[in-house]
Structure 1
Amino acid sequence: MPATFHLRLLLAATLAFASHAVAAPAPADVLDLYGTPANAEDRSFNIFFDAGAWHGYSLPAAADAGSGFSGPFVHSLGAGRWVGRRMAEVALKDAASGTPVALREVASHAWPGYLERRFEGDGVRLRQVLYFADARRALVRIELDATTARTLDIAVEAEPMLAPGDALALRDDALVQTFAGSDEALLTRLQMDAGRMPPQQDRQGHRFASAAPLRLQPGQPSTLVLEQYLSAETGTVVPPIADEPARWRDNRARWDGYLRAVAASHVDGVPDEVAQRVAVKAVQTLIGNWRSARGDLHHDGVIPSYSADYFNGFWAWDSWKHAAALAWFAPELARDQMRAMFDYQAANGMVADSVYLDAKENNWRNTKPPLAAWATREIHRATGDAAFVAEMYDRLVRYHRWWFAERDHDRNGLAEFGATDGTRIAAAWESGMDNAVRFDDAKMLANGEGAWSLDQESVDLNAYLYREKLDLAGLAEVLGKRDEAAAWRRDAGAMKQRIGTRFFDAAAGWFFDARLGTGERIGVFGSEGWTPLWAGLASQAQARAVIATMLDPARFATPMPLPTLAADDPRFSPVKGYWRGPLWLDQARFGVEALRRYGQAGEADALTARLLLAADGLAAQAPMYENYDPTTGKGYQARNFSWSAASYLWLLGIGRE
């Protein structure tokens, strides 16, 4: 039998690690990150992702005894699936008697940027911390500390979930899990203070076991580090992690930076601890949906939500909103979010609706509303990065001009939503408001080859385009292009007059879409009606009329205010209506910003407080939802929705002018 195996103690590093964790910068468990997968497709609970990783983990469900963590969930495998039920489960036995040491859970927490578990047994304490060192590598630091001298056999175990065609293989000191139909591989290995332990494999899973007993003494903690590395190619050679304590310090520095950036979150009428909690949750939501460049995605970006199996890519409209929020706490990710969409800009200037790991799936049937220049200007406002403005400017100009070349059926300088394939559904998707009531009777008109428009001009689209001209003027000035800036402002001035005349109904006091040809206004009171106020193009008289309707409890001042359709509309469907009544935070944010722009700061604060306090579970552990019932505050559709998080950050004052 080999000599007793001693783990070389790294006491100083261990104590430094522990001291960082104790001084937590934010509350724990802002999101409920507990769950154990019942099957490979289980998305019924929240998952911890960070650093752009495509694999994630959770704290095991409360009834699921044992140490370790649930996972991993690999998001880049199709729509995503669990490839492990449990990892990093620690088994201890008395070396002399072989008696298992029962571990009692003391605490489990989800902190910003890491998961932590603590256990106690007979004469021993166990602490596990899971965090991401980078986009491909998750680390679990396992600390063992004795309250009395113990000599123990130790094993670190895992329970994989293998789909047909998946395989497990031993490679040197690591275990490699491969996946049917994919070039990706998950490498797992364990490092000890004195070296690494090779894995063992059996039918139930795999384990890393010490070849000889571990001697623990009080006050002399021992450390192991379990690593899981998700590679894009099966044969990737992965060097072992170097200087793990430095990786932890980097993680803490990054998260401390995020949290400092949102520390000033405040809303009148909302307790500051609630505002802070929501701000931390918003950051966790956006960073949890961050995915690194991989496959045909050439830059990092933020997906809409990992909780829905249909959101495994980047969407244009979402990306612009994500970038505008990220600019204030993760500016390089904000820049990459923009680049990821413009990597695929077409020769005619169009930007795809959505892009994916496999570019063959990119959706070119439609684009999304034009907020890219606005997002770029937000990035510049947050960072002062003129080089990024120079990188994006010509691309933004081409995209802006595409709208008038491909989506202005009657060439009157006002655009319509449309599609490249002539389908009504793709044209509605292009609006971002897929099933909005205002489009119920719309028909398609051909503009040219691969270019179709709805037979109605939309007020929100043209308000966005007006605002984009002003944003392009601002970006041109950053680059010293004064003549171009002046030209953009002249164009905006002319468009402002057209919008006010075409879309505002003085009798109704609202901005409506208008039918091509007849000019008939489509009298649906929807959230698009306050977009001209957000853009700053409404006259004071127009704004007063619109604001009166926005503040009417029977229409838009619902318990959770500013829904997408007036509550007195007979077609109002606040639960399952999608864009036919539920509240979407981006539209509510634009509505609040509209109120502020026209001098209604008090009303804006009051509505903001209700948006925070009326959302079910927002101040507790509930995730941020895709949309909400404006009458009850109950969340619906996808959980952990990124643009809801982005909107809440602005409502909390982050990045607000």
Structure 2
Amino acid sequence: MPIVALATCIDIADHNGMRSSLKHLILVVGLLAFGTSSLARAGVPDARFLDVLDMHGMPASPTDRSFNIFFDAGAWHGYSLPPMGDDDTGFVGPFVHSLGDGRWVGQRFARVVLQEAGNHQNIMVVPTESHAGPGYLVRRFSSPLVSVDQTLFFANSSHAVARIELRATRALDVNVTLAGQVMPNEAHGLAIRGGAVVQTFEHSPSILTTTLQGDGVLAQHSTVTGAAYWIGVNQPLHLAPHQTTVLYVDQVLTYDPQTDTPQAMGDEAAWMRNRQRWAGYLASIARSHLAGLPDEVAQRVAAKAIVTLLGNWRAARGDLHHDGVIPSYSNPDFNGFWAWDSWKHAVALALFAPDLARDQMRAMFDYQAADGMVPDCVYLDKANNNWRDTKPPLATWATLAIYRATGDKAFLTEMYDKLVRYHRWWFGARDHDHNGLAEYGSTDGTAIAAKWESGMDNAVRFDTVTMLKNGEGAWSMGQESVDLNAYLYKEKIDLATIAKVLGKSADARQWLKEAASMHEAIQARMYDRQHGYFFDVRLGSDDRVTVYGSEGWAPLWANIANPEQAARVVGIMLDPHKFATYMPFPTLAKDDPHFSPVTGYWRGPVWLDQAYFGVEALRHYGYATQANAMARRLVLNAKGLTGQAPMYENYDPLTGQGYQSANFSWAAASYVLLLQHRE
């Protein structure tokens, strides 16, 4: 049956409100089956996962982030494919993320100009393909005389390479020039040094260096005119018929020449290492499976999630001492590492990039204070680090996940004391009445920083909070939050597990004793029998903050609820008037008068971390069928997820439309985890 006919049949037959999602799903599966083999025959690697994101675009201004950008290997500079209909060779960029909040400094990179050496006639080539693959961009051009294939990849975090393959239909001598164009406002920084094209920037020590090398390139010359530059090969290249000649245009970003020395390397070997590295990442996709969802779709969404996470990978530079993953390159406010984000990133990264997962944890704990606190976020310039608050305690969960994925006991040893200090800090600085249950708070006494500390900045449950001083630089909200204490309970259980692995039996017993006490306190104080849900509780009373939010299923995720409590909570989670929406598990119940799915931020949109915790909560208490159904909705009803749309910061639970920051890392991490195969 033809693909479109199959999709049409399903569209007519379906009566459950899933028409558009199922129709799109079948089209995706069909196109994957139809297109993969032909592209693979054309020599395009990883053809199954081509164009999971549309990487075409041209900046309208230096700060334009309205389209997707290709980053890899921890690079702080990235590129895009020219818009469809732009027939010139080369790539767009680079965008340099480490300059201020990030900006485009180049318009065109690695443009190829060919002339027949005998008559100096330009050889015109026309585009035939333009794709974004996992770890590379590729463009193909052809003419009756010669074909040009361009592949852009990263050799390492400093070194971008455009690999250019020339293949003639007959013996041909050609003059070759590689051209580039910087943004007009950057022309003043363009110069020639030692034959290389260099670009410098005001108020920054960074240098961008562009060079040419490859087969038959014995001598070359470089020129700069205004915002344009050219690197020409001094002698014609001889192209043997049907043989491939390879050139490389290297673009190296040196963050600070006084402290950084980019490593020199062979470009061909670097391309092979790039392919091996990405083959390792993509091997993890074989485990991507969700009952009732075709594996082809699950694996393509997982591939997009991996591409998203690694697109936000940034190498250690400046005051960032280890590599990590930023929340989103699409948002200029996210040019650093955040604690809560980092813990979630690390859990997903452990499954396919464990070295990066370990470094993600280290990057935050590099700044752990003497009292145990870890800052909210850290930046290239540590003067910008936010010490007004921290973020919810999921660091031990992340560390244990890395160990379970890798068996790296040495990493547990490295992290254990740091995790213990961070855990103890919560009860020292955030337990106002010393009853063993903690509160979110701040170091400066402000409610806004305390709300930031929760990660759910403007959640309705915090609308009337007051602040209480615990000591110098330590303040608490006037309410104990159920999610915070669920996380802390789970930390005690996980610390006990780590202690056992490390042979610290006495520590393990102590953690389990503390966990048992906390388990009892959360059940008694935070579960409301009348409402059948877990809520925050005001200090000094038994008054519960009866707002139905995603925090209410955190005790199920942490395995605190008893079966009766879990059944009541699950009933609310699966109520279509509350949380079982078109895209399920919003952060605020649908029937709450404050529910605002479009502009509400934490007052109604779906955040994938909380939705993932919700799915896991169902699984923990035996509701696997319902968990799979909700997980399928999260995949199929997120608008464009199975197509080329990026993963967004949050989603409209009523329509599936993505909002806020595109290319959001913890959404990607959540999808990686959501799609992990279960026996």
Name the TM-score class by shorter chain.
over 0.9
Task: Give the match for residue 600 of structure 1.
Answer: 623
Q: For the Cα contact (< 8 Å) 1:25–1:256, is it kept in 2?
A: no
The more displaced of 226-235 and 625-634 is 226-235
State the secondary structure of the residue aligned to 2:204.
Answer: coil
Q: For the Cα contact (< 8 Å) 2:252–2:262, is it kept in 1?
A: no
Shift of 1:442: 0.6
Shift of 1:235: 6.6
- Aligned mate of 1:49, from 65, 68, 71: 71
Asked if residue 377 in structure 1 is aligned to residue 435 in structure 2, the reply is no
1:127-166 superposed matches below 5 A:
127-161=149-183, 163=185
Q: For the Cα contact (< 8 Å) 2:187–2:227, is it kept in 1?
A: no
Q: For the Cα contact (< 8 Å) 1:189–1:198, is it kept in 2?
A: no
Task: Give the match for residue 210 of structure 1.
Answer: 233
State the secondary structure of the residue aligned to 1:134.
Answer: coil
Q: Aligned partners of 1:113 and 1:164: how far apart in 2?
A: 28
Q: Deviations over 1:209-232 (max 9, x none)?
A: 122322323122211100011112
State the secondary structure of the residue aligned to 1:283.
Answer: helix
- Aligned mate of 1:94, from 87, 97, 116: 116
Code of the residue aligned with 1:573 in structure 2: it is S
Task: Give the match for residue 34 of structure 1.
Answer: 56
- Aligned mate of 1:109, from 113, 116, 131: 131
1:347-496 superposed matches below 5 A:
347-496=370-519
Task: Give the match for residue 188 of structure 1.
Answer: 210
Code of the residue aligned with 2:529 in structure 1: it is A
Shift of 1:196: 5.3
Shift of 1:33: 0.6
Q: Aligned partners of 1:569 and 1:48: how far apart in 2?
A: 40
The more displaced of 316-325 and 119-128 is 119-128
Q: For the Cα contact (< 8 Å) 1:353–1:366, is it kept in 2?
A: yes
Task: Give the match for residue 72 of structure 1.
Answer: 94
Asked if residue 651 in structure 1 is aligned to residue 663 in structure 2, the reply is no
C-alpha RMSD of matched pairs (Å): 1.6
Task: Give the match for residue 608 of structure 2.
Answer: 585
The more displaced of 643-652 and 62-71 is 62-71
1:268-287 superposed matches below 5 A:
268-287=291-310
Change (3 A) 1:436 1:166: farther
Code of the residue aligned with 1:263 in structure 2: it is A
Shift of 1:148: 2.5
Shift of 1:162: 5.1
Q: Aligned partners of 1:436 and 1:415: how far apart in 2?
A: 18
Q: For the Cα contact (< 8 Å) 2:186–2:227, is it kept in 1?
A: no
- Aligned mate of 1:250, from 255, 273, 283: 273
Task: Give the match for residue 8 of structure 1.
Answer: none
Task: Give the match for residue 313 of structure 2.
Answer: 290
Code of the residue aligned with 1:171 in structure 2: it is R
Task: Give the match for residue 530 of structure 1.
Answer: 553
Q: For the Cα contact (< 8 Å) 1:35–1:61, is it kept in 2?
A: yes
Q: For the Cα contact (< 8 Å) 2:219–2:235, is it kept in 1?
A: no
- Aligned mate of 2:191, from 165, 169, 178: 169
1:608-619 superposed matches below 5 A:
608-619=631-642
Shift of 1:203: 1.6
Q: Deviations over 1:166-196 (max 9, x none)?
A: 5122111211111111111101100022335
Q: Deviations over 1:339-387 (max 9, x none)?
A: 0000000000000000000000000000000000010000010011110
Q: Aligned partners of 1:198 and 1:234: how far apart in 2?
A: 24
Q: Which runs of 5+ in 2 are unaligned?
A: 1-39
Task: Give the match for residue 595 of structure 2.
Answer: 572
Change (3 A) 1:434 1:62: same
Shift of 1:237: 9.0
Q: Aligned partners of 2:210 and 2:424: how far apart in 1?
A: 50
Q: Aligned partners of 1:19 and 1:198: how far apart in 2?
A: 38
Task: Give the match for residue 628 of structure 1.
Answer: 651
Q: Aligned partners of 1:579 and 1:237: how far apart in 2?
A: 41
Shift of 1:165: 8.9
Code of the residue aligned with 2:284 in structure 1: it is A
TM-score computed with the length of structure 2 as normaliser = 0.92
Shift of 1:23: 4.4
Q: Deviations over 1:241-293 (max 9, x none)?
A: 54322111111111001001122211112121111110000000011000000
Q: For the Cα contact (< 8 Å) 1:192–1:223, is it kept in 2?
A: yes
Task: Give the match for residue 4 of structure 1.
Answer: none
Code of the residue aligned with 1:118 in structure 2: it is R
Q: For the Cα contact (< 8 Å) 1:189–1:199, is it kept in 2?
A: no
Shift of 1:150: 2.7
Task: Give the match for residue 547 of structure 1.
Answer: 570
Q: Aligned partners of 2:117 and 2:263: how far apart in 1?
A: 29
Change (3 A) 1:175 1:627: same
Task: Give the match for residue 266 of structure 1.
Answer: 289
Q: Aligned partners of 1:580 and 1:19: how far apart in 2?
A: 49
- Aligned mate of 1:81, from 93, 103, 111: 103
Asked if residue 332 in structure 1 is aligned to residue 335 in structure 2, the reply is no
Task: Give the match for residue 304 of structure 1.
Answer: 327
Code of the residue aligned with 2:589 in structure 1: it is A
Change (3 A) 1:268 1:485: same
The more displaced of 199-208 and 417-426 is 199-208
The more displaced of 538-547 and 227-236 is 227-236
Q: For the Cα contact (< 8 Å) 1:166–1:180, is it kept in 2?
A: no
State the secondary structure of the residue aligned to 1:485.
Answer: helix
Task: Give the match for residue 60 of structure 1.
Answer: 82
Code of the residue aligned with 1:52 in structure 2: it is G
Q: For the Cα contact (< 8 Å) 2:344–2:669, is it kept in 1?
A: yes
1:214-233 superposed matches below 5 A:
214-233=237-256
Shift of 1:101: 1.6
Code of the residue aligned with 2:357 in structure 1: it is A
Q: Aligned partners of 2:208 and 2:195: how far apart in 1?
A: 14
Asked if residue 560 in structure 1 is aligned to residue 583 in structure 2, the reply is yes
Change (3 A) 1:350 1:373: same
State the secondary structure of the residue aligned to 1:183.
Answer: strand
Q: Aligned partners of 1:239 and 1:606: how far apart in 2?
A: 49
Change (3 A) 1:548 1:248: same
Q: Deviations over 1:1-48 (max 9, x none)?
A: xxxxxxxxxxxxxxxxx9995442632101111111111101000000
Q: Aligned partners of 1:237 and 1:616: how far apart in 2?
A: 42
Q: Aligned partners of 2:263 and 2:529: how far apart in 1?
A: 69
TM-score computed with the length of structure 1 as normaliser = 0.95
Shift of 1:200: 1.4
Task: Give the match for residue 14 of structure 1.
Answer: none
Change (3 A) 1:166 1:449: farther
